[in-house]
Structure 1
Amino acid sequence: MKNICTIARFFKLFCCTIIVVLTAAQANGQQLKPVSSGYAPANGISVYYEIYGQGKPLVLLHGAFYTIGLNWAALIPELAKDHQVIAIEMQGHGHTAYAERKLSITTLAADVEKVMDHLKIDSADVAGFSMGGSIAYQFAVQSPKRLRKLVIISSTYKTAGWLPVVNGGFKDFKPELFDNTPLQTAYDEVAPDKANWHRFLTQMFQFAEEPFDVGAENIAKITAPVLIIAGDNDGLDKVELAKTYQLLGGGVSADLQPMPTSQLAIVPAQGHVSVMMQTATLAGYMQQFLQ
């Protein structure tokens, strides 16, 4: 019963996300119109990307089950004012076809580098939400020379960074539970082959259940400035989050020593899904940090 309630809450919040994102974009009179889009060869698959705006490159990595539009629709118009925004759809997500290739944050981070190679981008700022944030941490470790600044939104570099209730959240999920939901609607609108819906979900459930850990020693070696943004009740273990910030040089007394280059922002009264709805807050933090 507890897991059923969790699933129901997840879908309720997800529906709210779609409504809020689309309403915000329409209210601003803005529509997502990429300057260009295409596919990049990446480790045996073709990864879809969209490009918006001009300026320093900023790569956006979405959360699990999301598309570019679902995750970033309201935020891209703000970020594209002073950046060349490159939004990527990961394996099996959105326009990027389902593949039997085993999912891992190591492989997905390598895909990001291949997209940058394809677009002839030497280095870029990288921002990731949820699953995309974990991939962004891995990218920072695997490809440090390709990274300028890193933005992590409601995410962690290890499984233990989530509260236990989150880590057990996918245990009883079945593909059929996601049928006729906003997730499937978004998938059907752009997926190359809609028949892979259940295969994609099964693959993602398996991916979510496998523990991962980029490594505290590796996080401590990240030299690029990092901005961590989290909702105060977003499912992250805040003790572990504080430890992560300390690994990045934060958590000091800046009155007695230099201010660290990395930053931590906790957005009050926000959960994991709702924090992505705070467009003005996120844009303000990100634009100030990236500039």
Structure 2
Amino acid sequence: MKNLLNTNLLRSILLIAVIISAVFQSNGQETKPSASGYAPVNGIKVYYEVYGEGKPIILLHGAFYTIEMNWAQLIPELSKTRRVIAIEMQGHGHTPYSDRALSITTLASDVEKLMDYLNIDSADVAGYSMGGSVAYQFAVQSPKRLRKLVIISSTYKSNGWLPIVNGGFKNFKPEFFDNTPIKTAYDAVAPDKTKWRKFLAQMFAFAQVPFNVGDSKVAKIAAPVLIISGDNDGLDKIELAKTYQLLGGGVAADLAPMPKSHLAIVPSQGHVTLMMQTKTILGYLNDFLK
């Protein structure tokens, strides 16, 4: 009975997510990249798009998403003053499926190799969900390439999520994704649509492997970090508070200097709906990055 309830709950969550994603995507402003292409990195080719001019910021999407599904509303605003580089990670969107084992360590290395390809010495990096975990790993692996870090509804370790989130993918089945906007978006841009089920199987396996960038390593991140979380986005808020303390936060700022890292908890938001709060997220980003 418990497994049945969890399966039905996960189906409902996925349905809500894909419906919101479709609305989010359709409301995005039409902005064309000034450049796009494939960067050869670590034995695969990673697709990227470039918008605007100015200091670079790299955007890392969430699991199963494309650039458009994740960032359609933010890119037009960010690119008014910044050079925005959005990528699609292994198997996602335009980036071909690969049998290469998935890990946040490898995906973070892909980001650095992409920067080498585009001749970017250092950049701000923003990641949502899975992209946020990759961004944490990037901050640890490539500290000299990072200016500021933005983490949206994400964590650097598996137990940063609530138990129901960690156990969710055990009951996920490929057919849950049939006839969804996520599948439609994949079919629209994937180089080889026949890899869809292989991609899903790879992602399910990836999601079930525990990960931990490391408390001591996160505590050594020198770059300022902005954490944005929904109050009910599936993150364990006790662990989130500990993360903020590792980054220098959680002090009495009236009695001590204000930390360089910031924490924003957005009320009445889940994991998916948080990304729809464009004005709120943009306000936090602009204040933090300027």
TM class by shorter chain equals over 0.9
1:23 shift after superposition:
4.2
User: Counterpart amino acid of 1:109?
Assistant: A
Q: CA deviation at 1:198?
A: 0.1
Given candidates 6, 9, 21, the residue that maps to 1:6 is 9
For residue 222 of structure 2, give the secondary structure of its aligned residue in structure 1. coil
Deviation string 1:46-99 (CA, Å, 9 cap, x unpaired) is 000000111100000000000000000011111111110000000000000000
Instruction: Give the aligned residue type for 1:4.
Output: T
Q: Which secondary structure state, in structure 2, belongs to the residue aligned with residue 34 of structure 1?
A: coil
| Aligned counterpart, 1:70 | 69
Residue 22 of structure 1, aligned match among 22, 25, 28: 25
Query: Counterpart of 1:117?
Result: 116
1: CA distance, partners of 2:205 / 2:101? 10
> Deviations 1:207-251 (Å, cap 9, x if unpaired)?
000000000000000000000000000000000000000000000
Shift of 1:7: 2.5
Secondary structure of the residue aligned to 1:170 is helix
Equivalent residues of 1:50, 1:88 under 8 A apart: yes
- Distance of 2:13 and 2:32 partners within structure 1: 29
AA aligned to 2:174 is P
**Counterpart Cα distance in 2 of 1:22 and 1:139:** 27
Runs of 4+ in 1 over 6 A off after TM superposition: none
In the TM superposition, residue 16 of structure 1 has moved relative to its aligned partner by 3.1
Partner-residue secondary structure (3-state), 1:277: coil
**Any gaps of 5 or more consecutive residues in structure 1?**
none
* SS class of match (1:49): strand
Partner of 2:151: 152
Query: Where does residue 206 of structure 1 map in the other structure?
Result: 205
Q: Which amino acid aligns with 2:168?
A: G
| 1:84 alignment counterpart | 83
Distance 2:97 2:27 in 1: 30
Please report the TM-score for the alignment, with normalisation by the length of structure 2: 0.97
Q: What does 1:1-291 align with in structure 2 at a 5 Å threshold? A: 1-25=4-28, 30-291=29-290
User: How many Å apart are 1:10 and its aligned residue?
Assistant: 2.3
State the distance in 1 between where 2:62 and 2:92 align: 10
CA contact (8 A) 1:57 1:83 kept: yes
SS at match of 2:201: helix
CA distance in 1, matches of 2:242, 2:14: 31
Unaligned runs of 5+ in 2: none
Whole-angstrom CA distance in 2 between matches of 1:82 and 1:172: 43
Q: Distance in 1 between matches of 2:282 and 2:16?
A: 21
CA distance in 1, matches of 2:9, 2:110: 32
User: CA shift at 1:172, angstroms?
Assistant: 1.4
Distance 1:193 1:214 in 2: 32
Q: Distance in 2 between matches of 1:22 and 1:154?
A: 19
Q: Secondary structure at the match of 2:200?
A: helix
C-alpha offsets along residues 146-178 of structure 1, whole Å, 9 cap, x if unaligned?
000000000000001000000000001121221
Determine if contact 2:232/2:269 at 8 Å carries over to the other structure. Answer: yes
Q: Please say which of residues 167-176 and 8-17 is displaced more in the overlay.
A: 8-17
Cα distance in 2 between the residues matched to 1:32 and 1:180: 27
Aligned partner of residue 148 in structure 1, secondary structure = strand
Identity of aligned residues (%): 69
Given that residues 133 and 153 in structure 1 are in contact (C-alpha distance below 8 angstroms), is that contact kept between their aligned partners in structure 2?
A: yes
SS of 1:98's partner is coil
Q: Provide the aligned C-alpha RMSD in A.
A: 0.9
In structure 2, distance between residues paired with 1:19 and 1:44: 32
Please report how far the alpha carbon of residue 6 of structure 1 lies from its aligned counterpart in structure 2 after TM superposition.
2.3
- SS in structure 1 at match of 2:168: coil
Give yes or no for contact 1:14–1:182 (8 Å, CA) kept in 2: no
